[in-house]
Amino acid sequence: MRNTSIKTYKDLIVWQKAHSLAKQVIMLCRHFPHSDEARVIKKQLIRSSTSVPANIAEGHGGHQGKEYQHYLTIARRSANEMDYWVLLAHDLKYISAEDYSQLEENCREIIMMLSSIIGKLRDKK
């Protein structure tokens, strides 16, 4: 389901929100402790958060139907994984309760948006 008014992936609101969230995660990770455990969590958190907008962009790049839906599903899976890493970072006191709340809310919104788009693509079949 392509909207002809959308020229590039950068025009997609879900991509804009995911890109913003990835930048926010990267900024917060700069303040993580320097322990081995924190480095592992930081790496996974950055990887999963940047995977969301990257897969939205890749899926939008000329793919249609099932293939586009596939990339959006990967993005949604990465968003769910990121949600877990954010929870763990919060539980270990790497991020504040306020940052956790904001990240989780934004992550949930992106997951809902991706689910909606995936559902529309599925219904279009």
Tens digit of pLDDT for each residue in 26-73? 999 999 999 999 999 999 999 999 999 999 999 998 767 788 999 999
Do residues 95 and 89 touch, judged by C-beta distance below 8 A? Answer: yes
Q: Is the pLDDT of residue 19 over 90?
A: yes
Out of 1.20.1260.10, 1.20.1440.60, 1.20.1090.10, 1.20.1250.20, select the CATH number for domain 34-124.
Answer: 1.20.1440.60
Which pLDDT belongs to residue 53? 98
Residue 74: HSE in the Cβ half-sphere, 13 Å Cα cutoff: 16
Is the model's pLDDT at 94 over the cut of 60?
yes
What average pLDDT does the structure give for the chain?
93
Q: How far apart are CA 119 and CA 107, in angstroms?
A: 18
Give the per-residue pLDDT at 109: 98
Going from N- to C-terminal start, the domains of the chain cover: 34-124
Percentage of the chain beyond pLDDT 90 is: 82
As a 3-state breakdown, the chain gives helix, strand, coil percent values, each rounded to 5, of 80, 0, 20
Report the C-alpha gap between 50 and 25 in whole angstroms. Answer: 9
| pLDDT attached to residue 125 | 62
Label residue 1 by pLDDT band (50, 70, 90).
Answer: very low
